[in-house]
């Protein structure tokens, strides 16, 4: 048993360095810890895992790891047991197809598979219908803010929606001058009254926490040319929203390799009072 767990750990470590093939990537072990109470009861009676085994798994911190590998239970069925629903949100934008790039990088395309993601927030500049259809095929719950190159005039300038305990705002960002300026984006965030603001336009990945919440820029998924950012790397963001916590995974394509970074945010009581 011990050896098996050791192996799993190594595997997880390796996967974290290279690109995971299946979304989501390894889920943090703190995640498992926060849910101990909720899971032990339910799993014990649900007969999915023996209590002894569960204890070992919890100690080693690989519980969620195993479940996400679907060795014990597929992630969907697991979710039903959790006290909070875990939700995956893809933030993607500024693809500029076909003006500035021929297509999404093949590596990204192979990672983005239908059925794994619950919501897509797109910061705009798709620019054509094919791309819209592609995103829609990944996940039917697709929200798009209008970029300046989008031919579809029906996209709104900005949009807000609530996912779990979080209120999210979406805006392309060319309307916010100076472009990419965090203080100005913070003003938009106050205006929309959201916990997480997702914007684009600069083609540079950013995740920034300030007193009133989080501002995320997923960058350009195709690494499109930008007058604002030199040397754009293709990137997108996957948010794992779970209760009061959001884990932001940044996928970036650097010299043909997908690098994944993880940033953790927690909603504080202070911001909660906004509701």
269 binds other proteins, rule: CB under 8 A: no
103 binds other proteins, rule: CB under 8 A: yes
Contact between 158 and 145 under an 8 Å Cβ cutoff? The reply is yes
183 binds other proteins, rule: CB under 8 A: yes
Question: Could you give the residue ranges of the DSSP H alpha helices within the chain?
Answer: 2-17, 29-34, 36-46, 51-60, 63-68, 75-79, 106-111, 129-138, 182-192, 269-272
Q: Which is nearer to other proteins, 84 or 225 (CB)?
A: 225
- State how far the Cα of 228 lies from the Cα of 146, in Å rounded to an integer: 19
- State how far the Cα of 42 lies from the Cα of 133, in Å rounded to an integer: 39
Using N-to-C axis directions, what is the helix angle for 51-60 and 36-46, rounded to 10°?
150
- State how far the Cα of 238 lies from the Cα of 222, in Å rounded to an integer: 16
In this chain, which of 39, 49, 57, 97 binds other proteins, going by CB under 8 A? Answer: 97
257 binds other proteins, rule: CB under 8 A: no
**Residues 151-170 within binding reach of other proteins (CB under 8 A):** 153
190 binds other proteins, rule: CB under 8 A: yes
CB of 126 to other proteins, least distance (A): 12
255 binds other proteins, rule: CB under 8 A: no
Using N-to-C axis directions, what is the helix angle for 51-60 and 2-17, rounded to 10°?
40
Size of the site for other proteins (CB under 8 A): 36
**Residues 198-217 within binding reach of other proteins (CB under 8 A):** 211-212
Contact between 145 and 155 under an 8 Å Cβ cutoff? The reply is yes
Which distant-in-sequence residues (6+ apart) come within 8 Å of 21 by Cβ? 110, 111
260 binds other proteins, rule: CB under 8 A: no
In this chain, which of 152, 228, 268, 272 binds other proteins, going by CB under 8 A? Answer: 228
Site string for other proteins, 125-154 (x = CB under 8 A): ---xxx-----------------xx---x-
In this chain, which of 43, 88, 89, 101 binds other proteins, going by CB under 8 A? Answer: 101
Q: Enumerate the β-bridge partners of residue 261.
A: 250
Question: Which positions touch other proteins (CB under 8 A)?
Answer: 96-103, 106, 128-130, 148-149, 153, 174-175, 177-179, 181, 183-184, 186-187, 190-191, 193, 211-212, 224-225, 227-228, 230, 274
């Amino acid at each position: 048993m011990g050896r098996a767990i050791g192996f799993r750990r190594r595997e997880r470590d390796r996967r974290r360095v290279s690109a995971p093939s299946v979304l989501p990537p390894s889920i943090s072990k703190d995640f498992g810890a926060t849910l101990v109470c909720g899971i032990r009861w339910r799993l014990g009676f649900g007969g999915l895992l023996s209590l002894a085994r569960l204890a070992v798994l919890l100690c080693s911190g690989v519980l969620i790891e195993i479940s996400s590998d679907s060795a014990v239970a597929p992630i969907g069925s697991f979710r039903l047991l959790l006290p909070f629903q875990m939700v995956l949100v893809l933030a993607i934008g500024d693809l500029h197809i076909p003006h500035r790039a021929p297509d999404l990088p093949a590596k990204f395309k192979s990672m983005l598979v239908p059925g794994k993601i619950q919501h897509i927030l797109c910061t705009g500049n798709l620019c054509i219908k094919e791309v819209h259809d592609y995103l829609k095929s990944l996940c039917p719950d697709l929200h798009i803010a209008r970029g300046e190159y989008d031919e579809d005039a029906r996209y709104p300038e900005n949009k807000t929606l609530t996912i779990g305990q979080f209120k999210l705002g979406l805006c392309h960002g060319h309307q916010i001058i100076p472009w990419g300026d965090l203080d100005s984006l913070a003003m938009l965030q106050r205006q929309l009254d959201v916990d997480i603001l997702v914007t684009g336009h600069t083609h540079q990945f950013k995740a920034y926490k300030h007193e009133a919440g989080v501002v995320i820029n997923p960058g350009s998924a195709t690494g499109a040319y930008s007058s604002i950012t030199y040397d754009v790397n293709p990137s997108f963001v996957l948010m794992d929203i779970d209760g009061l916590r959001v884990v932001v995974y940044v996928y970036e394509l650097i010299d043909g390799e997908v690098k994944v970074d993880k940033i953790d945010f927690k909603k504080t009581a202070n911001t909660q009072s906004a509701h």
